[in-house]
Amino acid sequence: MNYLAILGRQPALGRAELESLIGADAITSFGPQAVLLSEHPDFRRLGGSLKLATIVATTTLSDWSAIDKYIKTKLAKQLELPTEGKLQLGISVYGIRASAAQVGAAGLNLKKMLKRSARVVAPQGDSHLSSAQVLGNKLTGERGREIVFYHHAGQTVVAITTDEQDINAYSRRDQARPKRDAKVGMLPPKLAQIIINLAAADKTTGRILDPFCGTGVVLQEALLLDYDAYGTDLEQRMIDYSTANLEWLREKHTDLGDQTLEAGDATHHQWTSSIDFVACEGYLGRPFSIQPTGQQLTEAISACNVITKKFLRNIHGQLEAGTRLCLALPAWQVGPGRFKHLPLLDLLEEMGYNRVSFEHAGADELIYYRADQVVARELLVLIRK
């Protein structure tokens, strides 16, 4: 394995995404928050990975004193540093007991060993650098180096970061769009990327349909990933919002693909353009800020189940066999990590769909949620039979 990927807050989503893009055989799980990869993925596509690093060494060292000695005696030879200019250096440690102060001090010792102009970026609070630190200090640039030590099951991987999730770009795409509406949900752009990648898998061209497009987050991310975008929504207001948001996007990116937007109820609409993949956040139903009563929960589940079932039956005849779909559907958290699901999940085969299974993520793990959240998003990946 040549690369180390550090995964996001819900790592199963990142594993499924990578598996969709590069295949299960190219991935080896490596602890709860990372995977080892034999292929280099296109990092700009990834919503579920925080960091990608090239592996330069492996060792069985596992305690901090041994790692600290390794940094002082062996690490400098593995960095392939540029010959000129001031360096930016940082060290991140995962799975090894070490304080931020200890990791920062190791960085300073490395600077002394190199005997050249360098600035050390020290972790703050944790034993690893944040994405903001890596990006802000250009540690993936020509004169930057973030050295990652990741330990799991008796093995420590030493790697050099090549890519870091661009949190600033996600923030701009989320918050700077001219049209936003909290009532229809606030789909994070990185989650939209994951949904698209689970739908399109390793296909890098084609037209993606979002039949519940809302303010156009999935359409936006599809265009940025070089797909054509096809969006429909029940409300004309949402079509107008999506149109405004995509016009704003095109002002900043002039090489985007084609887009089609039209009003239509997904439960009976006839789509007029060809569809290569379906990627969407479906109807999530009533939002709950506190745990609902039993009756409220039953009514919410029933309403979402009816709409989703009607949609799946309607679109089935309009898709070619083998078409892949990824739907973010509601699941209701009724206790810590315990969820109520849509009943239709047990009826998918008789409705004409096969559910995609992943080697590196269980179906019950593909849920995007916060600990205090009632309505979660369950990612359902299907293939039209």
Would you give the end-to-end CA distance of the chain in angstroms? 35
Burial of 125 by CB count in 10 Å (0-12 exposed, 13-18 middle, 19+ buried)? exposed
**Does residue 66 carry a pLDDT above 70?**
yes
Do 369 and 332 touch, CB atoms closer than 8 A? no
Distant-in-sequence, close-in-space partners of 245: CB < 8 Å, separation ≥ 6: 177, 178, 179, 215, 216, 220
pLDDT class of 369 with cuts at 50, 70, 90: very high
Percentage of the chain with pLDDT > 70? 100
Give burial (CB, 10 Å; 0-12/13-18/19+) of 214: buried
* pLDDT computed for residue 76 by the predictor: 84
Q: Is 10 helix (H, G, I), strand (E, B) or coil?
A: coil
Taking only Cα atoms into account, the Rg of the chain, rounded to an integer number of angstroms, comes to 23
The residues pairing with 329 across neighbouring beta strands, listed in sequence order, are 378
What's the rounded mean pLDDT across residues 8-13? Answer: 96
* Predicted pLDDT of residue 121: 97
C-alpha closest to that of 279 among 359, 363, 216, 354:
216
Q: Identify the band that residue 80 occupies on the pLDDT scale cut at 50, 70 and 90.
A: confident
How many whole angstroms separate alpha carbon 176 and alpha carbon 317?
38
Nearest to 363 by CA among 384, 342, 336: 342
Q: How confident is the model at residue 39 (pLDDT cuts 50, 70, 90)?
A: very high
Per residue in 111-166, pLDDT (tens digit) is: 998 888 999 999 999 999 999 999 999 999 999 999 999 999 999 999 999 999 99
β-pairing, 27-29 vs 259-263, is: unpaired
Would the pLDDT of 182 be above 90? Answer: no
At the fourth CATH level, the homologous superfamily of domain 179-384 is Vaccinia Virus protein VP39 (3.40.50.150)
What is the CATH code for 3-165? 3.30.2130.30
Neighbours of 278 (CB within 10 A): 26
Instruction: Spell out the residues 6+ positions from residue 88 whose beta carbon is closer than 8 angstroms to its own.
Output: 118, 119, 121, 137, 138, 139, 141, 143, 144, 145
- The answer to whether 90 and 105 have CB atoms below 8 angstroms apart is no
- Predicted pLDDT at 114: 87
Every domain range in the chain assigned CATH 3.30.2130.30: 3-165
pLDDT at 1: 86
pLDDT in tens, 286-326: 999 899 999 999 999 999 999 999 999 999 999 999 999 99
Note the pLDDT tens digit of each residue in 225-254: 999 999 999 999 999 999 999 999 999 998
Query: How far apart, in whole angstroms, are the C-alpha atoms of residue 237 and residue 218?
Result: 17
- The residue-averaged pLDDT of 179-207 equals 92
Length of the chain (residues): 385
pLDDT, one tens digit per residue, over 200-211 is 999 999 999 999
Residue 185 has pLDDT above 70, yes or no: no
* Residue carrying structure tokens 């807050």: 9
**What per-residue confidence (pLDDT) applies to 54?**
97
pLDDT reported for residue 81: 83
Q: Picking from 81-85, 191-195, 364-368, 378-382, which range would have the lowest pLDDT averaged per residue?
A: 81-85
User: What is the rounded average pLDDT of the residues 348-359?
Assistant: 98
3-state SS of 249-312 is HHHHCCCCCCEEEEECCCCCCCCCCCCCEEEEECCCCCCCCCCCCHHHHHHHHHHHHHHHHHHH
Q: According to the model, what pLDDT value does residue 376 have?
A: 97
Q: In terms of C-beta distances under 8 Å and separation of at least 24 residues, what long-range contacts does 134-142 make, across chains too?
A: 134/51, 134/90, 134/161, 134/164, 135/164, 135/166, 135/167, 135/168, 137/88, 137/90, 138/88, 139/88, 139/89, 139/90, 139/164, 140/164, 141/88, 142/82, 142/85
Beta strand pairing status for 277-281 and 324-335?
parallel
Dihedral sign for Cα 274, 266, 209, 320, please. Answer: negative
Predicted pLDDT at 118: 92
For residue 184, pLDDT beyond 80: no
**CB 93 within 8 Å of CB 86:** no
Q: How far apart are CA 337 and CA 133, in angstroms?
A: 31
3-state secondary structure of 111: helix
Does the structure show a pLDDT above 90 at 181?
A: no
Write down the mean pLDDT value for the chain. 95
- Which residues of the chain form CATH 3.40.50.150? 179-384
